[in-house]
Amino acid sequence: MRLPRPCRLASAAALLAACCWLPAALAGSSAPSAAAAAPGWDVPRLMQLLARHPTGRATFTETKTIALLDEPVVSSGELLYSPPDRLEKHTLQPEAESMIINGKNLTLMQGGQRRELRLPQYPEVEVLVAALRGALAGSQALLQSHYALALAGSEGGWQLALTPLDEQMRRRWLRKVTIRGARGVVQSVEMEQADGDRSLMEIRPAPAPSAAK
């Protein structure tokens, strides 16, 4: 059974957020609206900051604006990253569900049911996974093989717009992904679908575990 397209895209955006944020240091203040990129601040420098690979954990709040619904759908939960390519999104509210990407495998769990899928079957998700893996590897070349990149702002508050190169992808599924952050930290990921629906994920560092006494 194939997943509904809005669900597939929004979930993929969540994993993009997890992957970009978790290898970084703790976030500072929210990133301001970005202007033109400051002198000396460019995509290679951003990739260098994002390409750190410790295991990480964060919490998220995701707001989906869907044309068919009167009100936005808000969910929250936890994001986990284990290098080199395992990402997990565990939604806790309003109802529990989990999504895990490990290599080219996608696992979905909800209501006691489990589905195992292959990413190549879902090109719109695979393109987003390429974006997050490009960020993890600090690979501008990988990102540019799928997206046109536009960086604005400065190291202290930046915005990276990813526009799919594939015309069919832009027309049918995904117009743009906008990642905002500061230094090597992603603070939000916004996705605009071809049908006008949007998903905004805001990400926060998870509380550090209490030290054992």
In a domain, 188, yes or no: yes
CATH number of 117's domain: 2.50.20.10
For 57, the 3-state DSSP assignment is: strand
Specify the pLDDT at position 34: 52
In a domain, 93, yes or no: yes
pLDDT digits (tens, 9 = 90+) for 88-112: 899 999 999 999 989 889 999 999 9
In a domain, 213, yes or no: no
Residue with token string 């996608």:
106
pLDDT digits (tens, 9 = 90+) for 111-132: 999 999 998 888 878 888 777 6
What is the arithmetic mean of pLDDT over 173-185? 87
Other beta carbons within 10 angstroms of residue 179's beta carbon come to 27
Question: How many structural domains is the chain composed of?
Answer: 1
In a domain, 10, yes or no: yes
Specify the pLDDT at position 58: 85
What is the distance between the alpha carbons of residues 105 and 38, in angstroms, rounded to a whole number? 39
Say if CB 105 and CB 85 are below 8 A apart: no
In a domain, 46, yes or no: yes
> 174 lies in which domain range?
5-203
Alpha carbon dihedral 102, 137, 163, 122, in 10-degree steps, equals: -20
Whole-structure pTM value:
0.78
pLDDT digits (tens, 9 = 90+) for 29-76: 444 455 677 788 999 999 888 876 556 788 999 999 999 999 999 999
